[in-house]
Amino acid sequence: MIEAVIFDMDGVIVDTEQVWDDVRQQLVADWGGRDSEGAQRAMMGMSSGEWSRYMHDELGLPQSPDEINREVVRRMLERYRAELPLIDGAVDAVRRLARTFPLAVASSSNRPLIDAVLATARITDCFTATVSSEEVTRGKPSPDVYLEVARRLGVAPEHCAAIEDSGAGIRAAHAAGMRVLAYPNPHYPPTPEALALADAVLGSMGELDLDAQVPG
């Protein structure tokens, strides 16, 4: 039986994977790093410590990972203040499910970005717990962020449903022992192998119906 629902944020509540891509690509150009076609896909799911180290080591940014992390977050917040690209149906789905289940967020985004998105969308009070991958040892596809959010909720992972858009996120939630609903990211779609781990695949966030999609 499902007792709690856990949302990823980027690609599930907000359509921001390409915003991350734009911000990091522009920073690489501004700071004299090396462009790499596969960099964004490689960084999807990484914690802030992991992707900032990747940008330093693999993309050649001379600044420290801490400096890289701070500047990316600053630029992301600037973009969010200009426009928050909410995914159609996501806020309604959150509010609807919050009437029945405790909800949580398990995101690779930094803590300031999680807080900014939920506050701007006016759904902060819908969530019992929020965890950033920067607050655990390993980012997705490791299950750490999902296991930590289940611990904070006080719900066994096998009684949680997770909603994810990326291959790394689907693998993370599956590895944690959760039921997984995939909302495939149109910009960086999960591989068929990752998608096969999901219990259900959503065509839109408006289709989210736990009773039908993860019964029992």
Are 93 and 208 in contact by the 8 Å Cβ rule? The answer is: yes
Q: Are 174 and 92 in the same domain?
A: yes
Q: Are 56 and 160 in the same domain?
A: no
Q: What is the CATH number of the domain that holds 118?
A: 3.40.50.1000
Query: Which residues share a beta bridge with 181?
Result: 163, 200
Query: Distance between CA 138 and CA 146 in Å, rounded?
Result: 11
Query: Distance between CA 112 and CA 21 in Å, rounded?
Result: 18
- pTM for the full predicted model: 0.93
Region for 89 from its dihedrals, namely left if φ exceeds 0, alpha if ψ lies in -120 to 50, beta otherwise: left
Q: Are 116 and 207 in the same domain?
A: yes
CA proximity to 51, closest of 87, 33, 24, 75? 24
State which residues form the domain around 163: 4-15+85-213
Q: Are 28 and 135 in the same domain?
A: no
Q: Are 110 and 204 in the same domain?
A: yes
The tens-digit pLDDT sequence of the chain (216 residues) is 999 999 999 999 999 988 999 999 999 999 999 988 888 888 887 889 999 999 999 999 999 999 999 999 999 999 999 999 999 999 999 999 999 999 999 999 999 999 999 999 999 999 999 999 999 999 999 999 999 999 999 999 999 999 999 999 999 999 999 999 999 998 889 999 999 999 999 999 999 988 878 876
Q: Who's near 168: CB < 8 A, 6+ residues apart?
A: 44, 45, 46, 139, 140, 141, 194
Count of domains for the chain: 2
Q: Are 131 and 201 in the same domain?
A: yes
